[in-house]
C-alpha cells in the first residue's frame, strides 16, 4: 500500500491508517466534499461531539466511541469526546456546574454528534440520558442542537437488540437533530474487542465504519444550509424573547 492510500489529512494533521488495523485502505475513500457542498458553503473540518453512556473502567460504549472517533478523524473531522464522570443528575445541581457548562459548550461547538449507549434493562443508561437532559432545547432563544446531524449506536451484553438505538432516535428527533439512516448495534460486545481494547474485524466493525462515513457525508451536506432547513413560519412570527420564555418555562 502506498503512503497516499494509508494517510488522510484531518483536523489535527495527517491521520495514519496504521491506527486502523482492520481497514482495507483500497476501499476506504475520502469524502468527496465537492459532491456534497455548494461553492459558498464552509469548508472547515466538521465538528463532531461524541457521547457515551457508561462509567465502567472497561466501558464497551466508550471503546466503541473511541473506535468511531478514530474513523471520524480519518474522514477529516475535528472530534471531541465528553467524559460523563462527575456530571450531576439533572436538576440536582445548577446549570453553572463545571461539567454541565463543559457539556453545553461542546454541544454548541459541535455541528454533528455521535451517541453510543449500552443497553441496560432494555433501555438507554441513566448516564446517557443525563447527558442528553442537560443539553437544553434552547439557550436564550437559540437551539444548540437544532439542525445538527446525529448518528446513534448501542452495545449490548447479550443478543442483538435495537431498543437503545430506537430510543436514541426518539431523543434525537426531540432535540430537532438530523438523525442519519444508518446505525450500529453491537451484541455481545465483550467478544468484539480484543485485549488491546480495539474492535476486532467482523461485519459489526464494517457497520461501524458505515455509520461514521454516513455521518460525515450528512454533516457536509446539511450544515451549510441547516439554518434554512430549520427556518419555520411559527417561529418567524415570534420574537427571540418569546421563544425563550416558551421553551424555558419552569412549569407546565
pLDDT digit string (tens) for 123-156? 999 999 999 999 988 766 668 899 999 999 999 9
Rounded distance, CA 160 to CA 243, Å? 42
| Cα angle 102, 106, 109; round to 5 | 140
To the nearest 10 degrees (0 to 180), the angle between helices 203-223 and 60-74 is: 60
Question: pTM of the prediction?
Answer: 0.85
Residue with cell 442528553: 132
Rounded distance, CA 113 to CA 79, Å? 9
pLDDT tens, position by position, 206-237: 999 999 999 999 999 999 888 888 888 777 77
Closest CA to 181 of 155, 146, 213, 134: 213
Mean pLDDT of the chain: 89
pLDDT tens, position by position, 166-191: 999 999 999 999 999 999 999 999 99
Amino acid at each position: 500500500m502506498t503512503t497516499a492510500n494509508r494517510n488522510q489529512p484531518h483536523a489535527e494533521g495527517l491521520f495514519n491508517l496504521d491506527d486502523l488495523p482492520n481497514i482495507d485502505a483500497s476501499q476506504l475513500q475520502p469524502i468527496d466534499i465537492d459532491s456534497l457542498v455548494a461553492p459558498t458553503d464552509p469548508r472547515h473540518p466538521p465538528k463532531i461531539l461524541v457521547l457515551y453512556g457508561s462509567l465502567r473502567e472497561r466501558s464497551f460504549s466508550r471503546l466503541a466511541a473511541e473506535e468511531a472517533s478514530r474513523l471520524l478523524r480519518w474522514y477529516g473531522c475535528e472530534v471531541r469526546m465528553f467524559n460523563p464522570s462527575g456530571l450531576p443528575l439533572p436538576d440536582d445541581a445548577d446549570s453553572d456546574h463545571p461539567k454541565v457548562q463543559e457539556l453545553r459548550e461542546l454541544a454548541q461547538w459541535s455541528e454533528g454528534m455521535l451517541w453510543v449507549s449500552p443497553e441496560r434493562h432494555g433501555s438507554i443508561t441513566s448516564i446517557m440520558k443525563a447527558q442528553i437532559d442537560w443539553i437544553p432545547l434552547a439557550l436564550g432563544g437559540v437551539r444548540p442542537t437544532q439542525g445538527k446531524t446525529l448518528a446513534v449506536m448501542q452495545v449490548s451484553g447479550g443478543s442483538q437488540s435495537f431498543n437503545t438505538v430506537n430510543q436514541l432516535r426518539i431523543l434525537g428527533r426531540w432535540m430537532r437533530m438530523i438523525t442519519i439512516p444508518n446505525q450500529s448495534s453491537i451484541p455481545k460486545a465483550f467478544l468484539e474487542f480484543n485485549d488491546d481494547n480495539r474492535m476486532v474485524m467482523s461485519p459489526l466493525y464494517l457497520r461501524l465504519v458505515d455509520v461514521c462515513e454516513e455521518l460525515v457525508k450528512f454533516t457536509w451536506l446539511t450544515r451549510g444550509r441547516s439554518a434554512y432547513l430549520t427556518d419555520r413560519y411559527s417561529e418567524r412570527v415570534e420574537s427571540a424573547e418569546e421563544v425563550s420564555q416558551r421553551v424555558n418555562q419552569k412549569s407546565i
